[in-house]
Structure 1
């Protein structure tokens, strides 16, 4: 009789546990809304950049004219800001997926961001060469180039340390916090460089009417606000402890097994 009651109680507790796991939680709902808001801001930033360059600056081309310059801001906002932010965010959005798959997705998005950003850099240097404009003399150009170079280094280091690891598990564990920190710093630098570029472009293009709330100036300022909002939301989603990837016992066991095979350690060693 006691066994029957115990079994019934265990079934009830098990059913309650399943219901608790499947029931929507306020934290999950907030996370989904914040991710959706971040994507809305990111897409809006890219679209607004395209509208600015397309409607007010004459469109896009690859002919050495001002239309070739217009490729630069679109590529940088799309690559170094939006895609870089999303590459970081995948570890939060897919935090219950296999870590190896998330690493591959993280690396692919970063590679796509890098390719698009290089296209943007080539466009502006080609435009400067055709128009005989000096290179690399503004604060925007210094910050932007530093951001791109550090982004390349960060991507290569991530490739060597995590996606195709050539370093020891101890070295990877030591470098991981630095890698995460540098990713956030690069996102901040990319957004800061974009804000400098927006202001620089407006001062070069519409200086006489900028102070009169010209429509182009208002649109560009709005773009800057959207970029800041995107960065703030990404920063919150990435740093909030509740949204971090939970530990996976199976992945930890595989990691220990890998360490045993490669370093000769004991499976029971820390």
Structure 2
């Protein structure tokens, strides 16, 4: 029963994650002029697309790898590699998203890192970098003892959920900030809720629902990977590679 519920949630999350990304792409294509990697204002549009793709959708998928029932039996190495690879892909997308916005600001001579949105985003990406390095060095490489891994695992799990929460806060504040800046001097200001504002607000709600459901799946005890001793597959990466 629990496994069936998990797969239903997985289908829902896959649909929501795809919609989050598709809605952001449609927003920047339909209302913000599209995407281009040049010195025009279209460079900025890569920022929301890449950040939602990396720090929300791919990051959320990576967080759920060990909830897959298939990962509970057999060698753990393939799932470790998938978990690390998805997180690395998410980080690379986030870095490209930051390059886009910093390059845009530099070209337009706009100040960097002045808003709460930017502070939240930088905090999320910085924590993410530290989290990935910690996970790689402690949970993949064979030097760390089982005792050290057990000691650091709660912090690793906690900061994983914290990063996803910060990413959600950054995306929501970023959507709001972009709407304020883009619509404040138009004939249809944000306060009148024109179609773009309505669509972008709905996109933000999709992101919030996706993140909340990911966090819920992470908390459900019956969907967590059994502890060591119940399944004999917790070996360091280099030992599992035999």
Distance (whole Å) between structure 1 residues aligned to residue 161 and residue 28 of structure 2? 28
1:48 aligns with 2:48: no
Find the counterpart in structure 2 of residue 212 from structure 1: 192
Find the counterpart in structure 2 of residue 168 from structure 1: 145
Find the counterpart in structure 1 of residue 225 from structure 2: 245
**Tell me, which stretches of 5 or more residues in structure 1 are unaligned?**
1-25, 259-270
Find the counterpart in structure 2 of residue 64 from structure 1: 39
What does residue range 196-211 of structure 1 map to in structure 2 within 5 Å?
A: 196-207=173-184, 209-211=189-191
Q: Contact 2:27 / 2:196 at 8 angstroms: preserved in 1?
A: yes
Provide the secondary structure at the position in 1 that maps to 2:71: coil
What does residue range 6-85 of structure 1 map to in structure 2 within 5 Å?
A: 26-85=1-60
Distance (whole Å) between structure 2 residues aligned to residue 165 and residue 200 of structure 1? 45
Provide TM-score, normalisation by structure 1.
0.82
Provide TM-score, normalisation by structure 2.
0.91
Query: Alignment length, in residue pairs?
Result: 230
Distance (whole Å) between structure 1 residues aligned to residue 31 and residue 182 of structure 2? 10
Find the counterpart in structure 1 of residue 72 from structure 2: 96
Deviation at 1:27, TM superposition (A): 2.0
Aligned Cα root-mean-square deviation (Å): 1.5
More helix by share: 1
Distance (whole Å) between structure 2 residues aligned to residue 233 and residue 133 of structure 1? 36
1:181 aligns with 2:181: no
Distance (whole Å) between structure 1 residues aligned to residue 117 and residue 100 of structure 2? 16
Q: Indicate the structure (1 or 2) with the bigger Cα radius of gyration.
A: 1
Q: Contact 1:162 / 1:172 at 8 angstroms: preserved in 2?
A: yes
Q: Return the structure number with greater relative CO, CA threshold 8 A, min gap 6.
A: 2
1:23-71 alpha-carbon deviations (Å, 9 max, x no partner): xxx3222111111111111110001000011111001111121100000
1:229-267 alpha-carbon deviations (Å, 9 max, x no partner): 101110111110011113443325x57xx7xxxxxxxxx
1:114 aligns with 2:94: no
Deviation at 1:171, TM superposition (A): 1.2
Distance (whole Å) between structure 1 residues aligned to residue 135 and residue 83 of structure 2? 10
Distance (whole Å) between structure 2 residues aligned to residue 166 and residue 193 of structure 1? 36
Which aligned runs of 4 or more in structure 1 are off by greater than 6 angstroms? none
Provide the secondary structure at the position in 2 that maps to 1:250: coil
